[in-house]
């Protein structure tokens, strides 16, 4: 049976839209070398000094007062120890001006955060990457393509509700797939946590 021309056009349009939707995470994000973050001691540092020449950049958006950021610190530390010697730069980001230097230092110390943590005071990087929640992880390759964006795993159902058993390890699977050169089965999930305030 031969399909009418308008139906073929409609089907091709649907396929094109679905492909475009699936490829949104592959669009390149250009992070200017001169973009400035701050260390926890208050010193300015350019993003180019942090990401250097590694193959992948993993941005972990955190908030010292978010319960899920506190609860996920152990998981993140375990993953960091597991993958720290691979070509991945781990970059903790505290967005905005809502926390004092002492609050941020206490958070990193109390929860033994092992990877470097910086402050995106003006939220330029936060907006550029489209981060809206803490904790939220965003994995980029050297070309600036967004490999994975979302939750660490599926433990958190909501801010106050968690699963008894974790059945999906999104971040761990994303890292493993990247290091093996394999395509990801899941490139985007909805992060659960505290909204990033725009100040």
112: left (phi over 0), alpha (psi -120 to 50) or beta: left
Stretch (H or E) spanning 36: strand 36-38
Contact status, residue 77 vs residue 112, Cβ threshold 8 Å = yes
pLDDT digit of tens for each residue in the chain (199 aa)? 454 544 434 443 433 333 333 334 456 889 998 999 999 999 999 999 998 777 899 999 999 999 999 999 999 999 999 998 889 999 999 999 999 999 999 999 999 999 999 999 999 999 999 999 999 999 999 899 999 999 999 999 987 888 999 999 999 999 999 999 999 999 999 999 999 987 5
Q: Which domains does the chain have, with CATH numbers?
A: 37-195 (3.40.30.10)
pTM: 0.85
């Amino acid at each position: 049976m031969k399909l009418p021309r308008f139906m073929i056009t409609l089907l091709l349009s649907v396929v094109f839209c679905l492909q475009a939707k699936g490829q949104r995470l592959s669009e390149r994000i250009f992070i200017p070398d001169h973009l400035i973050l701050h260390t926890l001691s208050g010193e300015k540092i350019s993003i180019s000094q942090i990401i250097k020449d590694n193959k992948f950049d993993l941005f972990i958006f955190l908030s010292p007062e978010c319960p899920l950021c506190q609860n996920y610190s152990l998981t993140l530390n375990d993953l960091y120890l597991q993958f720290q010697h691979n070509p991945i730069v781990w970059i903790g980001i505290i967005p905005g001006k809502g926390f004092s230097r002492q609050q941020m230092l206490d958070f990193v110390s109390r929860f033994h955060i092992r990877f470097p943590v910086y402050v995106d005071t003006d939220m330029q990087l936060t907006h550029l990457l489209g981060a809206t929640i803490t904790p939220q992880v965003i994995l980029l390759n050297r070309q600036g393509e967004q490999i994975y964006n979302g939750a660490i795993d599926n433990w958190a159902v909501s801010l106050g509700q968690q699963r008894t058993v974790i059945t999906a390890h999104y971040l761990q699977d994303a890292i493993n797939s990247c290091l093996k050169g394999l395509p990801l089965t899941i490139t985007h999930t909805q992060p659960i946590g505290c909204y990033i305030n725009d100040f």
